[in-house]
């Protein structure tokens, strides 16, 4: 093996195809216990993973040693979700070994794509928030920042989706049923944490009061490390995920007193904590188990951080805030604020003020949503049962906050106190986790410019008055390694040829590609790539849905969680409008379009599931209607996940980003699609606004009400009925949904959508935006007719979105929040 210097200037250990072949065969023999002539694709995949891990673990060891020696300040990313997808091709790409592996496997008679398909997605997240965490840890490792991700090692990730007669069916996801080659168990770092029980007030000999928590239960947390491989031989950081088990020590008594069965039941209850990911995206589950999940992982992680700190600092806390910064990925891990206070005050016997001072230097909080149903609140009653000592601490944090901050700025103003109190005084008193997070953090950020503005103006205006400098923005980003280089090899190759191969770590370089926007040769090459990607996707569609789609049609794609605010039903109404026009006017002139959807609905979200059902039923009808003459096809891809996204995004012509203005905090799919040359049809919402700024008004189809217009309309009083009666097309479409046209013999089966838009008041202004949405699509249809014009716009999209790399987001966090230093890795 020889050491090489990569373009990035870092040392990369390069191994060649022959060495890789030897390693794979060796692992086939000694790790898998099989042989080349009888190994299954699964065994080949495992053997290759084992070979890859030889490189990964080298990098991991070097990185951990370097961080230990340098004693660096490190970021600790706390997130209940990491939507990682597959790691095989990602690790190969980041190690610079993809081509060699492909070649080695091919010489061994295997197709690397078949091996890739052996891997289950690691779907430990719901949607945007979880995928953002995955992109961020990729960038942190790539940029050589000391960082560790903490989370839960769920046994079951996000459910698997299928359709039965058009309706969503959920089945549990068992992603590591047969083991996971990427994880390493670390029994030496097990933690024990407490829940339930009661608090006793005791006095020591000096008469000093102390609070003693007598826990009702002790649970063991077992850490599993997933190496996070930076691109081009940079750092290999760690994602540390906790698995819950019953504490041996706690069960021993029960066991000895003859309670084998009781002890087993306790085991099961303890293991339940890390059993399953809550499948609600942007809703607060409000369940006891969810609070225990949050506390379990936060407590294990804080103890892990403190153990590591104490190794070099003993009981001297004075450097803690210099060494440790913790980012809260939304409020889900916010219970870490009272937990750190408990550790400092009750355990380390620190003065309250000193402890609080430390806390406020350590935590930073990212808000990901303004939707009221997503803002976490816990019933005080529940908190008291599960975490009695933490509730007391929260009360004390709140008392001091109201007296020392709120009452100082607004003396005697009880309204302000009621609004700002961490405890909401309703008939069922609640702990407001957003308030707690703002009060306990030194920085609070939203995830796109407009969203960060709205966090200040609509969510926490009084907190801004108290701490104007606490609030900032960090616009989201996505990793170009996974979302362009690995998923779109054809376009990547073209980019390498035209602008050089530096763009994956310096995405602004894509702007050089703009020089080719008018070059007809490059336009043709770009469009030919899109065409091939579309043909590939058509094969996938055929395999998954048995639907034939024409790669020459416009591929119009909406992929994201199913939510009213994301307005998949607005897309559906547009499809119905086109269908109706075709039926009314048999020669209706339109560029053929394939509408593709990918979305999971939370299992308990009725209307979201009705929207899926309606799209599937409308699809069935349209796809079989000869009169349509292939001008329209509608496909709902089952089981949308990271791996499907990687196949759909490179094939998209049109990107649907159609949320009601003010509702989508940022969006990140919008960035991935534009990066791959899709043209956005979008509202002025979230990061769409910044995308429009970057690509220019000519290269995006913006429609609909703006945030200010939405606010005005809402305050004036919006009446969706007005649109229903004023617009005959809207009326005809909604009435159509009530007939049995799409559900023969079963009229009314699709009426839930109409009901929500009319009786339900259309809370997301679907009807208000309908007209302007249809016009935006007509504009897109017109653009597509001119191939050169379209190619130019698509090229300019790819060339203009360099801002949206997660590397830039991370650098923004570093300069505005974390203040980390890069740490180059010493190899030996
Ligand atoms: C935003 N999830 C996107 C993305 O910043 C944004 C909430 C509660 C419980 C479980 N999951 C959630 C979210 O709030 C979420 O995914 N938010 C999304 O975060 C990354 O780009 O606009 O909707």
Answer whether 134 contacts ligand 1 (Cβ < 6 A).
no
Answer whether 344 contacts ligand 1 (Cβ < 6 A).
no
Angle between helices 352-362 and 388-401 (to 10 degrees): 90
Ligand 1 centroid to Cα of residue 660, in Å, is: 15
CATH number of domain containing 215:
3.40.50.2000
Q: Are residues 96 and 127 in the same domain?
A: no
Ligand 1 centroid to Cα of residue 282, in Å, is: 6
Asked if the structure places residue 505 within a domain, the reply is: no
The ligand 1 atom at the shortest distance from the C-alpha of residue 130 is 16
The residue whose CA is least distant from atom 11 of ligand 1 is 281
The residue whose CA is least distant from atom 14 of ligand 1 is 282
Answer whether 128 contacts ligand 1 (Cβ < 6 A).
yes
Q: Are residues 93 and 200 in the same domain?
A: no
Q: Are residues 81 and 113 in the same domain?
A: no
User: Would you call 545 a catalytic residue per the annotation?
Assistant: no
pLDDT score of 633 more than 50: yes
Query: pLDDT tier at 2 (50, 70, 90 boundaries)?
Result: very low
Closest CA to 332 of 148, 482, 124: 124
148, two tokens: 């560790």
Strand partners, 225: 184, 240
User: Would you call 560 a catalytic residue per the annotation?
Assistant: yes
Ligand 1 centroid to Cα of residue 613, in Å, is: 24
The ligand 1 atom at the shortest distance from the C-alpha of residue 80 is 10
Q: Are residues 80 and 94 in the same domain?
A: no
Asked if the structure places residue 795 within a domain, the reply is: no
pLDDT score of 397 more than 50: yes
What's the total number of domains in the chain? 3
Ligand 1 centroid to Cα of residue 254, in Å, is: 42
Query: pLDDT tier at 828 (50, 70, 90 boundaries)?
Result: low
Q: Are residues 79 and 102 in the same domain?
A: no
Query: pLDDT tier at 1 (50, 70, 90 boundaries)?
Result: very low
CB atoms near residue 203 (< 10 Å): 9
Query: pLDDT tier at 515 (50, 70, 90 boundaries)?
Result: very high
Q: What percent of the chain has pLDDT over 90?
A: 93
Taking residues 181-188, report their average pLDDT.
98
Taking residues 393-406, report their average pLDDT.
98
CA gap 810, 599 in Å, rounded: 28
Answer whether 809 contacts ligand 1 (Cβ < 6 A).
no
Asked if the structure places residue 692 within a domain, the reply is: yes
pLDDT for the residue 827: 80
Taking residues 291-318, report their average pLDDT.
97
Query: pLDDT tier at 283 (50, 70, 90 boundaries)?
Result: confident
Q: Which is more confidently placed, 564 or 8?
A: 564
Answer whether 648 contacts ligand 1 (Cβ < 6 A).
no
Taking residues 319-347, report their average pLDDT.
98
Asked if the structure places residue 828 within a domain, the reply is: no
Closest CA to 75 of 433, 303, 325, 283: 325
Pocket test for ligand 1, best of 83, 154, 283, 369 (most atoms within 8 A of CB): 369
Query: pLDDT tier at 252 (50, 70, 90 boundaries)?
Result: low
Q: Are residues 155 and 95 in the same domain?
A: no
Taking residues 790-795, report their average pLDDT.
98
Taking residues 512-539, report their average pLDDT.
98
Ligand 1 centroid to Cα of residue 61, in Å, is: 34
Q: Are residues 562 and 628 in the same domain?
A: yes
Q: What is the pLDDT of residues 587-601, one digit of tens each?
A: 999 999 999 999 999
The ligand 1 atom at the shortest distance from the C-alpha of residue 476 is 5
CA gap 63, 61 in Å, rounded: 5
Contacts of 817 (CB under 8 A, 6+ apart): 325, 327, 364, 443, 445, 472, 474
Catalytic residue from among 561, 593, 600, 617? 561
User: Would you call 399 a catalytic residue per the annotation?
Assistant: no
Q: Are residues 136 and 47 in the same domain?
A: no
pLDDT score of 251 more than 60: no
Domain encompassing residue 16:
1-70+87-120
Ligand 1 centroid to Cα of residue 74, in Å, is: 25
Distances (CA, A) of 265 to 119, 194, 289: 33, 18, 16
The residue whose CA is least distant from atom 15 of ligand 1 is 129
Asked if the structure places residue 827 within a domain, the reply is: no
The ligand 1 atom at the shortest distance from the C-alpha of residue 131 is 20
Q: What is the pLDDT of residues 452-503, one digit of tens each?
A: 999 999 999 999 999 999 999 999 999 999 999 999 999 999 999 999 999 9
Pocket test for ligand 1, best of 127, 334, 451, 479 (most atoms within 8 A of CB): 127
Answer whether 660 contacts ligand 1 (Cβ < 6 A).
no
Q: What is the pLDDT of residues 729-787, one digit of tens each?
A: 999 999 999 999 999 999 999 999 999 999 999 999 999 999 999 999 999 999 999 99
Asked if the structure places residue 642 within a domain, the reply is: yes
Ligand 1 centroid to Cα of residue 281, in Å, is: 7
User: Would you call 287 a catalytic residue per the annotation?
Assistant: no
Q: Are residues 78 and 56 in the same domain?
A: no
Contacts of 26 (CB under 8 A, 6+ apart): 51
User: Would you call 672 a catalytic residue per the annotation?
Assistant: yes
The ligand 1 atom at the shortest distance from the C-alpha of residue 686 is 22
The ligand 1 atom at the shortest distance from the C-alpha of residue 376 is 8
CA gap 162, 165 in Å, rounded: 10
Pocket test for ligand 1, best of 281, 291, 366 (most atoms within 8 A of CB): 281
pLDDT for the residue 264: 79
Q: What is the pLDDT of residues 222-240, one digit of tens each?
A: 999 999 999 997 899 999 9
User: Would you call 368 a catalytic residue per the annotation?
Assistant: yes
Taking residues 287-300, report their average pLDDT.
97
Ligand 1 centroid to Cα of residue 419, in Å, is: 24
Q: Are residues 469 and 564 in the same domain?
A: no
Mean pLDDT, the chain, integer? 96
pLDDT for the residue 10: 42
Taking residues 355-382, report their average pLDDT.
97
Asked if the structure places residue 501 within a domain, the reply is: no
pLDDT score of 392 more than 90: yes
Q: Are residues 132 and 59 in the same domain?
A: no
pLDDT for the residue 250: 52
Taking residues 179-205, report their average pLDDT.
96
Taking residues 255-275, report their average pLDDT.
81
Taking residues 196-203, report their average pLDDT.
96
Ligand 1 centroid to Cα of residue 657, in Å, is: 15
pLDDT score of 284 more than 90: no
Closest CA to 477 of 236, 143, 132, 814: 132
Handedness of CA 156, 161, 165, 167 (dihedral sign): positive
Answer whether 444 contacts ligand 1 (Cβ < 6 A).
no
Q: What is the pLDDT of residues 92-105, one digit of tens each?
A: 999 999 999 999 99
Answer whether 376 contacts ligand 1 (Cβ < 6 A).
no
Taking residues 306-310, report their average pLDDT.
97
Provide the strand spans (E) within 425-566: 430-432, 443-446, 471-473, 554-559
Catalytic residue from among 672, 754, 777, 792? 672
The ligand 1 atom at the shortest distance from the C-alpha of residue 665 is 22
The residue whose CA is least distant from atom 4 of ligand 1 is 128
Ligand 1 centroid to Cα of residue 685, in Å, is: 14
Q: Could you tell me if 400 and 411 are in contact, meaning their C-beta atoms sit under 8 angstroms apart?
A: no
CA gap 63, 420 in Å, rounded: 44
Ligand 1 centroid to Cα of residue 665, in Å, is: 8
Query: pLDDT tier at 266 (50, 70, 90 boundaries)?
Result: confident
Answer whether 281 contacts ligand 1 (Cβ < 6 A).
yes
Q: Could you tell me if 301 and 242 are in contact, meaning their C-beta atoms sit under 8 angstroms apart?
A: yes
Q: Are residues 91 and 140 in the same domain?
A: no
Asked if the structure places residue 482 within a domain, the reply is: no
CA dihedral 248, 254, 260, 263 (to 10 degrees): -50
Provide the strand spans (E) within 522-570: 554-559
């Amino acid at each position: 093996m020889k050491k090489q210097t990569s373009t990035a200037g870092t040392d990369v250990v390069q191994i060649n195809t022959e060495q890789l072949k030897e390693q794979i065969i060796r692992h086939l023999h000694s790790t898998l216990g099989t042989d080349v002539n009888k190994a299954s694709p699964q065994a080949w995949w495992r053997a290759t993973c084992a070979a890859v891990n030889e490189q990964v673990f080298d990098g991991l060891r070097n990185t951990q040693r370097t961080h230990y020696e340098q004693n660096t300040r490190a970021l600790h990313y706390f997130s209940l979700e990491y939507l990682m997808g597959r790691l095989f091709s990602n690790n190969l790409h980041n190690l610079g070994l993809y081509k060699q592996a492909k070649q080695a496997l091919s010489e061994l008679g295997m197709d690397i794509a078949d091996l890739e398909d052996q891997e289950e997605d690691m779907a430990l997240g719901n949607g945007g928030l979880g995928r953002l965490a995955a992109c961020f840890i990729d960038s942190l490792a790539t940029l050589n920042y000391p960082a560790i991700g903490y989370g839960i090692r769920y046994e079951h990730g996000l459910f698997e989706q299928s359709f039965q007669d058009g309706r969503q069916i959920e089945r549990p996801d068992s992603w590591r049923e047969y083991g996971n080659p990427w994880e390493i168990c670390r029994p030496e770092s097990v933690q024990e944490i407490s829940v339930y029980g009661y608090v006793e007030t005791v006095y020591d000999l000096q008469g000093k009061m102390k609070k003693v928590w007598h826990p009702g239960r002790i649970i063991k947390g077992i850490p599993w490390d997933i190496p996070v491989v930076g691109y081009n031989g940079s750092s290999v950081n760690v994602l540390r995920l906790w698995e819950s088990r019953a504490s041996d020590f706690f069960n021993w008594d029960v066991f000895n007193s003859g309670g084998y069965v009781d002890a087993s039941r306790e085991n099961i209850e303890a293991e339940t904590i890390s059993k399953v990911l809550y499948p609600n995206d942007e809703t607060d589950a409000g369940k006891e188990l969810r609070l225990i999940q949050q506390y379990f992982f936060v407590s294990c992680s804080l103890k892990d951080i403190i153990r590591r700190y104490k190794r070099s600092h003993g009981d001297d806390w004075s450097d803690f805030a210099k060494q440790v910064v913790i980012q809260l990925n939304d409020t889900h891990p916010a219970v870490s604020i009272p937990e750190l206070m408990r550790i400092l005050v009750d355990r380390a016997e620190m003065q309250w003020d000193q402890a609080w001072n430390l806390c406020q230097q350590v935590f930073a909080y990212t808000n990901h949503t303004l939707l009221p149903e997503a803002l976490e609140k816990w019933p005080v009653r529940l908190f008291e049962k599960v975490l009695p000592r933490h509730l007391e601490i929260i009360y004390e944090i709140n008392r001091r906050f109201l007296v020392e901050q709120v009452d100082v700025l607004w003396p005697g103003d009880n309204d302000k106190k009621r609004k700002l109190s961490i405890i909401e005084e309703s008939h069922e008193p609640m702990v407001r986790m957003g308030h707690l997070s703002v009060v306990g953090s030194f920085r609070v950020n939203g995830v796109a410019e407009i969203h960060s503005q709205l966090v200040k103006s609509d969510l926490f205006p009084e907190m801004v008055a108290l701490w104007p400098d606490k609030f900032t923005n960090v616009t989201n980003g996505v990793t170009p390694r996974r979302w362009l280089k690995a998923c779109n090899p054809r376009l990547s190759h073209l980019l390498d040829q035209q602008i050089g191969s530096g763009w994956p770590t310096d995405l602004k370089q894509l702007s050089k590609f703009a020089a080719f926007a008018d070059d007809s040769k490059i336009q043709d090459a770009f469009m030919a790539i899109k065409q091939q990607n579309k043909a590939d996707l058509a094969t996938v569609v055929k395999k998954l849905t048995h639907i034939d789609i024409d790669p020459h049609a416009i591929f119009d794609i909406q992929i994201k969680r199913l939510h009213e605010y994301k307005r998949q039903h607005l897309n559906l109404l547009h499809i119905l409008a086109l269908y109706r026009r075709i039926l009314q006017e048999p020669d209706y002139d339109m560029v053929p379009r394939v509408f593709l959807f990918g979305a999971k609905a939370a299992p308990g979200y009725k209307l979201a599931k009705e929207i899926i059902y309606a799209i599937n039923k409308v699809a069935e009808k349209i796809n079989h209607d000869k009169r349509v003459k292939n001008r329209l096809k509608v496909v709902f891809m089952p089981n949308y996940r990271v791996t499907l996204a990687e196949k759909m995004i490179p094939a998209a012509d049109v990107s649907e980003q159609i949320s009601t203005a003010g509702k989508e905090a940022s969006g990140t799919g919008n960035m991935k699609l534009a990066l791959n040359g899709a043209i956005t049809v979008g509202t002025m919402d979230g990061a769409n606004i910044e995308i429009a700024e970057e690509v220019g008004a000519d290269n995006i189809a913006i429609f609909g009400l703006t945030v200010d217009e939405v606010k005005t309309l809402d305050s004036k009083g919006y009446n969706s009925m007005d649109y229903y009666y004023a617009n005959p097309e809207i009326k005809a479409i909604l009435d159509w949904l009530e007939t049995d046209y799409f559900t023969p013999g079963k009229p009314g089966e699709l009426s839930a959508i109409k009901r929500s838009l009319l009786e339900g008041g259309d809370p997301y202004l679907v009807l208000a935006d309908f007209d302007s949405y249809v016009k935006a699509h007509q504009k897109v249809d017109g653009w597509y007719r001119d191939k050169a014009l379209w190619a130019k716009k698509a090229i300019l999209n790819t060339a203009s979105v360099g801002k949206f790399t997660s590397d830039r987001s991370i650098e923004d966090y570093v300069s505005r929040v974390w203040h980390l230093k890069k740490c180059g890795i010493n190899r030996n």
